Amino acid sequence: MPKSATKQANPITDPEFELTQEQLDLFGEELDALRARVLDDLGQRDADYINKILNAQRGFEVAGRGMLFLSFIPPAWIAGTVSLGISKILDNMEIGHNVMHGQYDWTQDPRLDSTQFEWDTSSPSVNWKDSHNYQHHTHTNIVGKDRDVGYGILRMSEDQPWHPYYLGNLLYATLLMTFFEYGVAMHDLEVERMVSGEISVTEKREEFDHIWRKVRDQAVKDYVLFPLLAGPMAPAVLAGNFSANIIRNIWSFMIIFCGHFPEGVEEFTEEETANETRGQWYYRQILGSANLTGGKIFHIMSGNLSHQIEHHLFPDIPAHRYSEIAVEVKEACARFGIPYNTGPLPRQFGSVVKKIARLSLP
Amino acid sequence: MALGYLRNSPRRITRGLLDSQFVESLVSPNPVERYIGLLDPTWSRRDVRAEVVGVDRQTPRSVTLTLQPNSNWAGFVPGQHVGLTVEIDGVLTTRYYSPASRPADKRLELTISAHPAGKVSNFLVKNARVGMILGLSPAEGEFVLPSSPPGELLLISGGSGITPMMSILRTLLGDEHAAPITFLHYARTGRDALYREELERLAAEYENLNLVTVLTRETGPKLISGRLSREQLKSIHGDHANAEAYVCGPESLIAAAESIWSQDQLEDKLHTELFSLPEPLVVTEDAVGSVRFTKSGVEVANDGQSLLVQAEQGGLSPRHGCRMGICHTCVCRLESGTVRNVRTGEVKTVSNELVQICVNAPVGDMEIDL
């Protein structure tokens, strides 16, 4: 029987699936070997790369805030806002997200220490590392365990039962996209479990205090201190800072949603993923992720999460290596008959929007 | 006085501003270093950093660095050592060296000898150049002269152990210390003898300095050879019981000195500092040693399981997530010890580094910040 070209069944539940446990073990061993080879090769090139990105981020930030002070020249306002937006995107994606995964812990550089790093967004690093590094990356796309499936607000899988509330799926998604940094921070609070009474508000007191401090610090910096420093340019600086935050929100939402929710990406249940072997775990990461095609700058601006598949296989390998690793992963997938979901941003994002719209109905 | 204050004040104002809550809010959540670093890579609020301003290779297997530390440098006492951090293959690596300069000198002088397995020493001997920025840790160590220097002194060093002795000697002679000083130094060959010219010049200039250089791998009619022994000591320094002795060098030298001084029941007159690499650990299948969790004061006998499991068995509950090496929630600073990665089998000796405790098991004794 020829297997479906677009969708494959999970090997654990479907006895007719072509991949045997032996093949999956072999696949797992290949990926383990690839991982060991890359880790062994880490060195000056990787440290130089992230230092270059850190410098670029600082440069864009200083230039952006500087240009916003000159907002009486309209092009300066636009350039300043874009520049600040780029700096925030670099800070959050290629630097923050990746450093907090421990990708650069091996450098022993205190600036790149995953236990110390803090980023320019509302979600405190300590909360983020729990909900993202642990819950999302360990239980990728397991409905009920990976809380990134719908962020507790959206219906992103047929496996989530429909409710009239989800008629607003598109509206909620648009709001989540615009205010993504607050959405991510709230996500750590598990508000939906508070509403359902599973946990009490007091249990989340510490997380709430952390989030409040971060939201406050960012608001004081972007919406009070820098506008005040700008004197008569205050409204323009405030608007520029606000816009830069929104630019970052929209961009990171798009990249992240394209990583897990385009057509063809699979979700899983707790039962089918119990007692996974290493090979099965790798396999689920590939089925549950999708890549984006693009140029070098695009990959950097996405924090190399355009290589979501490689990131999910090896979350703690420096992300700028993913494009090199992808060549081998793709080849191995083709050899084992494992689907490798990839496409350009407009197509993948279009597919995500379609899915959000479709799932708003039963 | 007033003029000096005025000259310093712009600096103080800048410093005060950079330390202020206001600037902290402007750069939040980043440290202010992240931005000042664009202009001055040695500037830091708290970290000690130094620029290499002089590089001299006085022997083929060593390098002498002259360092200009930033204003966070709090100085040292002759005999102490400092941590020197250098980026090698992208990794910030720290090793300890004793300054050879005097505390009164404006700049810091370190002489680094290449050890066969020494990562930092070999790197610096080969690659040190003017303009490099290095990290420094505050000076520490008990191997120092008392604040009022004792009467007669006997200084003994082997190989690169000469550096704290140079600091002690230069400081005492610079302070016009009048009591007799015997400096006995062991080098392998004349080519390896560090600071030879300077020492000979000092010995000619200062009557109270008796300099003896022993070349352990050279023989000749006028040379004293062989390792430290009672007989050798007697021929050089009639009565070591009268002197306060400071010994710094490899393990064999320290052991020889300890044996002589303890036989003579003069232990309280002997001060030693070991200069050597830690012995590589022999890896066996059996779990040995004990694991000490330094923050909580708990110590358990190593049973070979992952550090996370052993910590939990010891009654601790370290932060963790996946328990399979993915999420890095459990990373902890490992102060010293060797770990085996239970997933890959890789064995690694680390000091003061982050490790994932869920997939690393201790090999022998270890101290971890938990």
Q: Tell me the ipTM for this assembly.
A: 0.85
Residue A263 touches chain B, beta carbons under 8 Å: no
Bridge-based pairing state of the strands B48-56 and B62-69: antiparallel
- Contact, A344 vs A298, CB < 8 A? no
- Enumerate the residues of chain B whose CB falls inside 8 A of the CB of residue A44: 87, 89-90
The span from the CA of B231 to the CA of B234, in Å, is 5
Q: How confident is the model at residue B4 (pLDDT cuts 50, 70, 90)?
A: low
Residue A120 has pLDDT above 50, yes or no: yes
- Contact, B334 vs B369, CB < 8 A? yes
By Cβ distance, the residue of A46, A105, A226 closest to B354 is: A105
The span from the CA of A255 to the CA of A181, in Å, is 14
Angle, CA of B320, A115 and B135, to the nearest 5°: 145
Q: What is the DSSP string of B240-294?
A: GGGSEEEEEE-HHHHHHHHHHHHHTT-GGGEEEEE--PPPPPPP-SS--SEEEET
By Cβ distance, the residue of B29, B34, B328 closest to A316 is: B328
- How do residues B173-182 score in pLDDT, each as one tens digit? 999 899 999 9
pLDDT of residue A178: 97
Distances (CA, A) of B275 to A29, B64, B160, B163, B318: 44, 17, 8, 10, 36
Angle, CA of B85, B70 and B106, to the nearest 5°: 105
Interchain proximity B327–A111, CB inside 8 Å: no
Q: Compare B238 and A29 and report the one with higher pLDDT.
A: A29
Min Cα distance B353 → chain A (Å) is: 7
The span from the CA of B254 to the CA of B234, in Å, is 17
Interchain proximity B326–A138, CB inside 8 Å: yes
Interchain proximity A102–B331, CB inside 8 Å: yes
Q: How confident is the model at residue A14 (pLDDT cuts 50, 70, 90)?
A: low
**Residue of B354, B355, B357 for testing the chain A interface, max A β-carbons within 10 Å:** B354
Min Cα distance B354 → chain A (Å) is: 7
End-to-end CA distance of chain B: give it in Å, rounded. 49
pLDDT of residue A190: 80
By Cβ distance, the residue of B29, B87, B354 closest to A113 is: B354
- Report H helices in chain A: 21-41, 44-69, 74-90, 98-100, 125-128, 137-138, 169-178, 180-189, 191-195, 205-219, 226-229, 234-260, 278-287, 296-301, 308-313, 322-336, 345-358
The span from the CA of B366 to the CA of B335, in Å, is 8
Helix and strand element counts for chain B (H, E):
9, 16
pLDDT, averaged across chain B: 89
Min Cα distance A87 → chain B (Å) is: 13
Contact map slice: A 97-116 vs B, CB within 8 A:
101-102, 105-109, 111, 113-115
CB count in 10 Å sphere of residue B18: 17
Residue B17 touches chain A, beta carbons under 8 Å: no
Min Cα distance A66 → chain B (Å) is: 13
pLDDT > 70: percent of chain B: 94
- How do residues B115-128 score in pLDDT, each as one tens digit? 888 889 999 999 99
Distances (CA, A) of B130 to A149, A207, B44, B66, B125: 54, 48, 20, 9, 13
Q: Compare A290 and B151 and report the one with higher pLDDT.
A: A290
Interchain proximity A129–B326, CB inside 8 Å: no
pLDDT of residue B12: 81
Cα maximum dimension of chain A: 73
- Written as six digits, the tokens of A96 are 């923050």
By Cβ distance, the residue of B25, B90, B354 closest to A115 is: B354
Angle, CA of B99, B164 and B266, to the nearest 5°: 155
Min Cα distance B86 → chain A (Å) is: 11
Beta-bridged to residue B110, according to DSSP, are: B65
Q: Starting from the edge strand earliest in sequence, which strands make up the sheet with B331-341, in order?
A: B298-301, B290-293, B360-368, B331-341, B347-356
The span from the CA of A251 to the CA of B158, in Å, is 62
The span from the CA of B70 to the CA of B135, in Å, is 10
- Written as six digits, the tokens of B302 are 């190593």
Which residues 6+ apart lie within 8 Å of A30 measured at CB? A332
**Residue of B17, B26, B28, B88 for testing the chain A interface, max A β-carbons within 10 Å:** B28
Residue B331 touches chain A, beta carbons under 8 Å: yes
pLDDT of residue A282: 96
By Cβ distance, the residue of A32, A108, A120 closest to B91 is: A108
- Contact, B38 vs A62, CB < 8 A? yes
Rg (CA), chain A: 21
Helix, strand, coil share (%) of chain B residues, nearest 5: 25, 30, 45
- Report H helices in chain B: 2-18, 21-27, 33-36, 119-127, 162-174, 196-205, 230-236, 251-263, 307-313
The span from the CA of A27 to the CA of A35, in Å, is 12
Count Cα atoms within 13 angstroms, Cβ side, for B143: 28
| Predicted structure pTM score | 0.88
Min Cα distance B187 → chain A (Å) is: 35
**Residue of B328, B330, B354 for testing the chain A interface, max A β-carbons within 10 Å:** B328
- Three-state secondary structure call for residue B168: helix
What is the b/e burial string over B260-287, where b = at least 16 CB atoms within 10 angstroms of the residue's CB?
A: bbeeeeeeebbbbbebbeeeeeeeeeeb
| Amino acid at residue number A58 | R
pLDDT of residue B221: 67
Residue B262 has pLDDT above 60, yes or no: yes
By Cβ distance, the residue of B35, B90, B93 closest to A62 is: B35
- Contact, A166 vs A354, CB < 8 A? no
